[in-house]
Amino acid sequence: MESVGAAGRGQATDELAPVVTQGPDPVTAERIRDGLSVAEVAERVAAGGVNDLPPTTSRSLWQIVRANLFTRINAIIGVLFAIIVVVGPLQDALFGGVIIANTLIGIIQEVRAKRTLDRLAIVGEARPRVRRGGRTVDLTSSELVLDDVIELGAGDKIVVDGRLAAVDGLEVDESLLTGEADPVVKAPGDNVLSGSFVVAGSGVFTATRVGRDAYAAQIAEEAKRFTLVDSELRSGIDRILRFVTWAIVPAGIALIISQLLVNRDDLPEAVRRMVAGLVPMVPEGLVLLTSVAFAVGVIRLGKRQCLVQELPAIEGLARVDVVCLDKTGTLTEATMDVAEIRPLTPDVPVETVLGALGLVDERPNASMRAIVERCPAPAGWSVRETAPFSSARKWSGATLVEPSGRTGTWLVGAPEMLLTEHPALTEADTYGRQGLRVLLLARYSRPLTEALAEPTAVPQATVPVALVVLRQRVRPEASDTLRFFADQGVAAKVISGDNAVSVGAVARSVDVPGAAEPVDARTLSTDPQVLASTVETHSVFGRVGPQQKRAMVGALQSRGHTVAMTGDGVNDVLALKDADIGISMGSGSAAARGVSQIVLLDNNFSALPSVVAEGRRVIGNIERVANLFLTKTVYSVLLAIIVVLASVPYPFLPRHLTLIGSLTIGIPAFVLALAPNVERARPDFVRRVLRFAVPGGVLAAAATIGAYAYARAHYGGDLAAETSVATLTLFVVALWALSIIARPYTWWRILLVLGMGLAFATVLVVPALQEFFQLRLVGVQAPLTGAAVALGAGLLMEAVWAVTRRRAATPPSAPTD
């Protein structure tokens, strides 16, 4: 039966007239058949005619180093560090070491993420089929050269610009480039553009523009994918940093002047206390931890064979509250088996016809592959015309010539698309209710061209011949995965192009809520409001076309939902593109992988809970630690203002605040940022963070300045003792804030808080550390007073936290560790 496919392909090639491309050579029939020779490829490589696009998933090593090292925050801290190095002692320059460590951590984590992305991208990238030296080979996109002869099939992504040399029912979707929704029927000599994809048929084209000259490369700078743009989390942090910058400038200037005046007899001491007041105003670790959390997310998902093509996708996953699932390839495995062939018309060689139809298509879909495996290839049959499968038509067909010379046109596809009223439809529904997929083989009494021109009129000229019953294998992990979504408050919508009854049966077998009432998408209203209401209130939809999938995603988004879409076929591309998060299967079409933010390279549907959980971990933990950093910024700014107004020495040296910041913010924040967290993200990140950070910072500043004022009155000028009491007070308040932010408690969170407290106590009792950090608690009364003031502030902070949690939309979920 190889002669069937060969006949169809040879006919298209042999009838082709030479077509001139923008390359140096005319495209002859011989060139189309054999492609470029090794010598011709070498010539084009030497001339620079290579598809040398920059990598699309990650930044270069130099870009990573530059982005982590040359930042505004590092510049500010670096200048202050240099000042302290000049005036000494080096104990007060410890904050510089923290910045260096943070920068190195950021670089190392992002380099690890880059390597993970680059490795996975190689596995998941599109590999065009190219004719070279008389053979067809699979190449990477970067190996293509000018004038390469490239084959196209349904689901292929077009990676370079070119001109078509041969077509067989080729339809190309250019909506990602032009915005036009309808597929474009192509003819020999037509141009194809990179960034578009094949929805039906097959063809051959020659590359006319490659690399940066290609159309898609000119309209999109895809090399910038590895960024944090369009991220609500990042934009919220940027807003906070802009506010902090405006607050730091006047507070810093005033602090510099006041400390120089107050400590005019001791300039180095004035400089040290001025620097001590400025350093903690900068939330230096917040941006770093955001980048680290995203990078670690990439690495963790990479270990589960999940390719994250855009970093904001990790954050977006945390906000998902609806996941739309394509049945085939997601709930069920992509492979199928023929369970039964049910003849409807006598004296028709059903399996022979199916065998011929199955081998007409060079790239059969899963249904046709199952038919080909079941039905033997007949000898002596040939093909006259073909109609490739289309997601819109939901059938394929061919005009076949039997060995006797008799011709017949045959269609195979969805029964309800090929028939209107017939007992076979009832029988098909009976199979469908058992979760089986049913195709109809029908004889068509008119020319195949008429069926392509008027698909709606097809049922008027068909005679049903046989039902082909296919058994789909439900993924064993599907039920547990959907249960996870239900437990996490994420609604699941099964959206499939298959028969609604069959989709409903499969959905019931994996316990999808609402599966008992499947909806046939052909009955859906085109009114956006009615459609949105229907999609919200139902869970299972069958016979959904590509444009309907896109419309349904948009309808859910119009109701305020954050939508993730999973799919693997070319009919899912438009919906994947429009969804907030597109998730495709690694075995899916190149077009589907190309528009998705996340690719499940091993096609493991059970990885989706991990993907969603990773997003929630990132954004939930960044919000958690942002409370700590912003609390520090608030109390630092307030302390500076109060010190300026009171004309007193700043109550800390840089080493004191480095110690407090490291034990109550730096080390705990790094641990908390990478901890498990399953709480679904909510909007208004900045407002929620400031709701705790502002009153928490005010209480910390008030307690510290109160204890400092008491110590000044008690000690009467012993600045070291006064500073020690202030340090004790601020540490206790900051540790209390940490104990609040670390909730809900687990064993390791309790150990974290206790460990930080124990570390500070060690500094207070070990003489060498007392000397190093210049901390000396004199007497009992003042230190106890400072501790009592701190405890009072901590209790007030508890009240603030209680109010904050009551205002939250949902209570925090317990961690899963």
What is the C-alpha radius of gyration for the chain, rounded to an integer number of angstroms? 34
- The set of residues, in sequence order, having a beta carbon less than 8 Å from that of 109 and lying 6+ positions away, is 291, 292, 295, 296, 299
- The set of residues, in sequence order, having a beta carbon less than 8 Å from that of 711 and lying 6+ positions away, is 721, 722, 725, 726, 782, 785, 786
Contact between 685 and 623 under an 8 Å Cβ cutoff? The reply is yes
Instruction: Using alpha carbons, select from 589, 616, 615, 617 the residue that is nearest to residue 603.
Output: 589
Ranges assigned E (strand) in 344-476: 382-387, 395-401, 407-413, 437-444, 462-474
Can you tell me the distance from the alpha carbon of 657 to that of 682, in angstroms, rounded to the nearest whole number? 33
Furthest-apart CA atoms within the chain: distance in Å: 117
Q: Which listed residue (148, 326, 572, 580) is catalytic?
A: 326
Contact between 725 and 775 under an 8 Å Cβ cutoff? The reply is no
Can you tell me the distance from the alpha carbon of 494 to that of 552, in angstroms, rounded to the nearest whole number? 11
Residue 152 forms beta bridges with which residues? 203
The CA-CA-CA angle for residues 572, 576, 577, to 5°, reads: 120
- 10 Å Cβ neighbour count for 755? 14
Can you tell me the distance from the alpha carbon of 298 to that of 310, in angstroms, rounded to the nearest whole number? 10
Q: For the CA atoms of 647, 648, 651, 655, what is the dihedral angle to 10 degrees?
A: 80
Task: Tell me the CA end-to-end span of the chain in Å, nearest whole number.
Answer: 58
- The set of residues, in sequence order, having a beta carbon less than 8 Å from that of 416 and lying 6+ positions away, is 425, 428, 499, 543
Pairing of strands 184-185, 161-173: antiparallel
| DSSP symbol at 664 | I
Residue 197 forms beta bridges with which residues? 157, 173
Residue 429 falls in the annotated catalytic set = no
Can you tell me the distance from the alpha carbon of 452 to that of 459, in angstroms, rounded to the nearest whole number? 13
Q: Which residues are catalytic?
A: 326
